[in-house]
Amino acid sequence: MPPIRPCAPGGPPQIAGTFRTGVRMLGRLEQITPRGAYRKSGVVGVGLLLSMLRTGRTSAAMICALAFFAVRAAAQPSVELRIDANEAYADEATPLTLWILNYRQAGKPVLPAIPGCEFGGGSQETSMFSDGRQTRTTMRIHYELVAHKPGDLVIPPIEVDVDGRTLKTEPVKLTILPSQVADLLQAEITTDQKQLFVGQQVLLKLSVYLRPAIVNRQTIDRQSMKRFLKPTWGELNEFRETGKSGTQRRRDASGDAKDFYVFEYTLKMTLDRPGPLELGELAIPVDYPISFGRDMFGEIFVEKYRRLRTQPQRLLPDVQPLPTANRPAGFTGAIGNYRIDVSARPLRVRVGDPINLTLALSGQGDLESLPPPNLAVQPGLTEKFRVPEESLAGRMENGRRIFTQTIRARTSDVREIPPIEYAFFDVERSDYAVARSAPLAITVEASNHLDASTLPEFATPSRQEPAAPEVVDGLLGNRVESESLLRAVRPVRISDVALVMIMPPAAFIAACAWSTVSQRRTTGSRQRRRQEARAIALARIETAQVQPAAQQTSAIAAAVAGYLADRLDLPPGRCAGEDGVATLQQSGADEAAVGSLREFVARCDRAAYAGGDDDQDLADLARRCIDELARGET
């Protein structure tokens, strides 16, 4: 920023320098004391100070200034409304400062209602002064007044309860000038897309045009002007600066061509509804400098601002819904322009063996939220392969969206994996399109099974058919040879009768005895298993904590699953993960125990797949879960 030369009075350099020092002190005192007190003691104070400065008595001047401040500090309580200038601009914030001086207690100011105007702000600053007997406080309350219509304006008195009395400020007159914000600040939101559709990811560009300020007939550079731009965008706080710089010639409010600094910001957003693009409350505030000064160290500072505020002009087309005509059957909502590549492993399998299919999507669009292909409607795929119906979970890898699925060949006559189609809506063409992968050649062999036709023939033993009964008068007769019939029957003995009478009761008694012994053994084994479950589980957790980090999570999870299996007398496989939660619910355990196990399972899954959990925390959680399970069992 260019230097500013101060106006020095005539006279010797030493006197002039001392004079400037004294004037600065009076200026600072004027900022922290009421103007009424300054007027009452101003003639004596200023006259005495200037007399001492002219005679070179600088020390005496300093003492006079301090005494001058002390006199005013002892003044009576008062209130005063100050403004920086008697002119303001319509629709711009004008700073006001309400001073409450030399008080012990002060109430909340009562702001008057002014038609066509709004009050804002209300931040406070306080300072205290004590003379050894009593303490007085001075408060400054900073407001902003926005007037919406040009013309003369009078701010009515503001009432404040101070030390039990109601004090009022003097009325303040303002002249409200028409606000030509476009002369100094302009903004617009644009996009490179000629058409917008629901579901499309679009890049919005916010361009802020700021007229450079001029000091001493020299233009302030772009970087210095950027400090006056306040990057708060309301609801759209995700706008990010691009870093592009430059100057552009634009028309101001009067139609004249002027040079403006350009500041660019961008935002990516996905459109979720048709109609005009809703961006919420979006305003560009700028504290535009209009007056500069130099402080006591010679540094330039801004004395006065114009608080500009503008709404960006939205040069955007309306968002259109996706057309229904020509929509492909496999369309899942992808918007953009994409390519699909497919790979499979292994390429030589038997019927029913798993084939890992990898689908890679790339192109222009919102890849991170891209929906997966719908494999259930792929022509030729479901006829030749068994395809799961669950939705696919994707991941980002090297700028591509990756999906994986396992398929299995139905028959051995399959020779290739047919092209996989991915339907999307092409914004550039305003129509649907389908990307297709190349077919993949595979070899499918028959699965291993026994074929009865390949087994060797074995001779079966021949069975001698009995002689056919004699036919008498065309009828098949019955055998009547009594000798042959009696020869086939063994005589009944006493031992046979005894065996028949004794064996059933004996067998029943033996079965009951065996059942009783088995039940006692089983009950004892279950009881020992339940009693030893906690000690075994805690020992397994301790052992897991000294294992390698990659194995600790699974070992701790196995310890909890083993405990639950021992307590319920079930196989450990039924008590692992979500199966264990379901089994515990079916056993009638209370909700606290079920919730504790569910939390532990979720932590184990997060640690196994996402990483980041502390193993000590997981072990402590496992111990708490075991304690909760012990209390919650029914």
Token pair 């036919």: residue:
471
The secondary structure of 178-227 as a DSSP string is P--GGGTEEEEEE-S-SSEETT-EEEEEEEEEEPPPEETTEEPPHHHHHT
pLDDT score recorded for residue 224 = 87
Q: CB–CB of 144/307 below 8 Å?
A: yes
pTM here? 0.52
pLDDT in tens, 413-422: 999 999 999 9
Token match 């006197």: residue? Answer: 15
| pLDDT greater than 80 at residue 548 | no
Vertex 69 angle, CA 65 and 75, to 5°: 150
Q: Are the CB atoms for 338 and 330 separated by under 8 Å?
A: no
Report the pLDDT value the prediction gives residue 167, as an integer from 0 to 100.
94
What CA–CA distance (Å, rounded) separates 615 from 599?
15
User: Would you place residue 294 in the very low, low, confident or very high pLDDT band (cuts 50, 70, 90)?
Assistant: confident
d(C-alpha 128, C-alpha 378), whole Å: 80
- Please give the residue that has the higher pLDDT: either 606 or 120: 120
Residue 479 in this model has a pLDDT that exceeds 60:
no
Range in 100-109, 141-150, 245-254, 518-527 the model is least confident about: 518-527
Mean pLDDT of the chain, nearest integer: 78
Q: Which residue has the higher pLDDT, 248 or 230?
A: 248
Q: How confident is the model at residue 633 (pLDDT cuts 50, 70, 90)?
A: low
- Read off the pLDDT of each residue in 220-235 and give the average, rounded to a whole number: 78
Q: Is the previous residue joined to 77 through a cis bond, with omega within 30 degrees of 0?
A: no
Instruction: Determine what percent of the chain is predicted with pLDDT higher than 90.
Output: 29
Q: How confident is the model at residue 528 (pLDDT cuts 50, 70, 90)?
A: confident
Res. 485 pLDDT band, cuts 50 70 90: low
pLDDT score at 282: 78
Q: What is the largest CA-CA distance in the chain?
A: 172
Burial class (CB in 10 A: 0-12, 13-18, 19+), 97: middle
Q: How confident is the model at residue 596 (pLDDT cuts 50, 70, 90)?
A: confident
pLDDT value at position 5? 34
DSSP code per residue over 548-602: -HHHHHHHHHHHHHHHHHHHHT--GGGGSHHHHHHHHHHTT--HHHHHHHHHHHH
Element (H, E) at 363: strand 354-365
Judged against a pLDDT cut of 70, whether residue 116 lies above it is answered with yes
Residue 160: phi and psi, rounded to 5, are: -140, 130
Higher model confidence: residue 435 or residue 613? 435
At 364-383, the pLDDT tens digits run: 888 888 899 988 888 789 88
SS (H, E, C) 34-48: CHHHHHHHHHHHHHH
The residue type of 591 is E
- For 333, 386, 437, the CA distances from 421, given in Å and listed in that order, are 14, 17, 7
- The reported pLDDT for the residue numbered 46 is 47
Q: Tell me the average pLDDT across 312-326.
A: 91
pLDDT in tens, 47-95: 444 444 444 444 454 544 544 444 444 568 999 999 988 888 888 888 8
